[in-house]
Structure 1
Amino acid sequence: MSFFKRLKDSISGKAEAVTNKFKEGLTKTRDAFVNRVDDLFSRRKKIDEDFYEELEEILIGADVGVNTVLKLIDELRAEVKKRKIEDPSELQPILSEKLIELLKGDADAGLNINPNGLTVILFVGVNGVGKTTTIGKMAHMFKSQGKKVLMAAGDTFRAGAIEQLETWGERVGVDVIKQQSGADPAAVMYDAVQAAKTRGVDILLCDTAGRLQNKVNLMEELNKIYRVIQREVPDAPHEVILVLDATTGQNALSQAKLFGDKTGLTGLVLSKLDGTAKGGIVVAIRQELALPVKFVGLGEKMDDLQPFDSEQFVHALFGKWIGEQTDKV
């Protein structure tokens, strides 16, 4: 059975609603990226340097990542030489298969949930990436699963941050543990952990200040939060999630590298993926970081935070290519 047939068969068993969310959320990337590749292959009549240069430009423009693109182009050159391919249309299935394999990467990783009690998830990231919104949506998700959820307002620095989290708490019906603005975030986390233990909470979601990665004192504050949580709950935090704004492209990758060096990250959430034509950043992250993308934000609604599913992502972008190849099987 061909690669494309296996992929199509595995996707066919997935929930249609989730498939549609990924398709809708990746419309901008599909229109700007996949359609441009289609145009290149149909317009160019031969595989020459101009062809490779334009393909390289399209891939880099979609934020696939320069290193990954250069490697991919080299692999395509080798295939063209090996198979003596002259018509660009013969190269398209090879390109699509290689892109799909890059996107799939390792098996998708879910959240690490403590089977024996309280699970603590710490969220980090710079201001404006959608961190508080992500926490609110995740609280909604866990509550919908029947979990008892609590949120901790550890961002005591940004004006309005506590109120924003409280607004989400009211929307989803989840309590928020807080102190006054300017309080010690580690003290908030201590209170939140104690409250979670007393109330028999399943999931504690912890917000933190959107700190600039070059501010050493703020990173030290984050490490203090980490130590307080770890002291009160063995093996916690069970996840340290970096929230990245997908619309910032390569800057998101730079943030991930800098945060990863200092905070013991376990995974990523890519927010606002529906708002960018540069969804190729997922490929760059898969290739350049040893961190799994755990969730993606695909819209404004409460249920638009979805567990990252590489097959759904691939099908949403390359469904047309996959269909064309399985039709040939």
Structure 2
Amino acid sequence: MSSDTQSTAGRTAGRQKKKQKNAEGRMPLADHLRELRDRLAISILALLVGTILGFVMHNWVLHQMTGPICNISSLHGVGARTSGCPNGVLVVDGPLGGLSLSFDVSMMLGAIFSSPVWSYQLWAFLAPGLYKKERKYGLSFVGAAVPLFIGGAAIAYWVFPKAIRILLSFVPSGMAQMIQGTDFLSFFIRMVLVFGLSFEIPLLLVALNFIGVLSAAKLRGWWRPIVFIIFVFAAVATPTGDPLTMTVLAVPICVLFFIALGVATIHDRAKAKRRAIEDPDSLLDDDTASSLDLTPSELPSQGPGPVERVSPSDLASDEPMDYHSDDVT
């Protein structure tokens, strides 16, 4: 065999070995680190591109965020009254205040715009280490988590101006109001995150039920304390702390909790039916004896030679029997 043929065969065998190795989900630590480095680089690049795009449109986004507050006619701020903010409530402090505010908004938009890229990179890095069933559950839960978070963020945007109006109503008459632009942005982002992540709590309960940690029977027995904890959590987690915002956050979470309870109940019933078909004794009480399988099984032969069978007449004979090492007794 020539050297070219040997080298070609060696490369082919190496590619087949590498393909088989990757198919089994095994990878050396150095390859894991290189893959992590590449995926982080792609995610950072996508974040930079999204931030540049966000900087282009950050003025429009700021106007959409500040419009509900700046158009409250009963407020009188100390800032300059402009067409974008007629009451002059929002101001920036210092020579770098405007740049800091614009950069923060651009970063927020960049994280949103690049979320499909960095979320896929995270999933592609973790998926090879999961079983097929775990990957299916993971994709299902991610597909449900995204609309839940968006729904919570939309409710936060709807209730935000109403909550601000309630908070600013406590300003004494004859005094002006001033809100720093960076404080307003951090307050708005915190409220959106609280609402969005709170809407993921029922999905977490469903995930715990699917992996067998939490049963639907326990959730049904705990529903009163859970509803109380939801309202306490809403009162503590909302940045405003007013009853309106607390109720707007707590009521949808309670509705989602009961939906999660229904999903968990359906899953547990289907799981019980499958267990009843596969193992009928699984439904028996602890004091009830299970059925025994008395079907005789054949013993495997030892060795390649034929098995010498013993007849009943030989067992009844008084003469000693000659047992060999290959006999099956």
Q: The TM-score by the shorter chain falls in which range?
A: under 0.3
- Higher-Rg member (1/2): 2
Which structure features the higher share of helix residues?
2
TM-score, normalised to structure 1, is: 0.20
TM-score, normalised to structure 2, is: 0.20
Which structure features the higher share of strand residues?
1
Highest RCO, 1 vs 2 (Cα 8 Å, sep ≥ 6): 1
